[in-house]
Amino acid sequence: QKEVEQDPGPLSVPEGAIVSLNCTYSNSAFQYFMWYRQYSRKGPELLMYTYSSGNKEDGRFTAQVDKSSKYISLFIRDSQPSDSATYLCAMSRSGNTPLVFGKGTRLSVIA
């Protein structure tokens, strides 16, 4: 079993829909949780960052962490075609340790 599991999709939604992306993990030592967006043949771009449990909101994006369930989510409201990309969850044990990534979920938002 991989440390971080993420459904690779693909996920296809109509424009304006609410998108829910999720990851589960097995290592209870993870404390830092991130979501990255990656367009085709580009480097990952940091979207959201959360430390420990709780919610964080930034514009149309909301990140949630439930450490008791070892489950993290990213919600995208009012999805736009420009949101079409691969979304990667990532996590780490401490502020210095390398990130452990999920496989990424490929999202298509159809106009």
Partner 1 sequence: DTGVSQDPRHKITKRGQNVTFRCDPISEHNRLYWYRQTLGQGPEFLTYFQNEAQLEKSRLLSDRFSAERPKGSFSTLEIQRTEQGDSAMYLCASRGQGAINEQFFGPGTRLTVL
Applying the rule CB under 8 A, the residues between 31 and 50 that interact with partner 1 are: 32, 34, 36, 41-46, 49
Binding segment (CB under 8 A) for partner 1, from list 3-11, 12-20, 63-71, 76-84 = 3-11
Instruction: Please list, residue by residue across 14-39, b when 16 or more beta carbons sit within 10 angstroms of its beta carbon and e when fewer do.
Output: eeeeebebbbbbeeeebbbbbbbbee
Q: How many residues bind partner 1 (CB under 8 A)?
A: 28
Q: What's the token pair of residue 100?
A: 């452990």
For residue 91, give the amino acid letter.
M
Q: Which residues bind partner 1 (CB under 8 A)?
A: 4, 6, 8, 32, 34, 36, 41-46, 49, 51, 88, 90, 92, 94-104
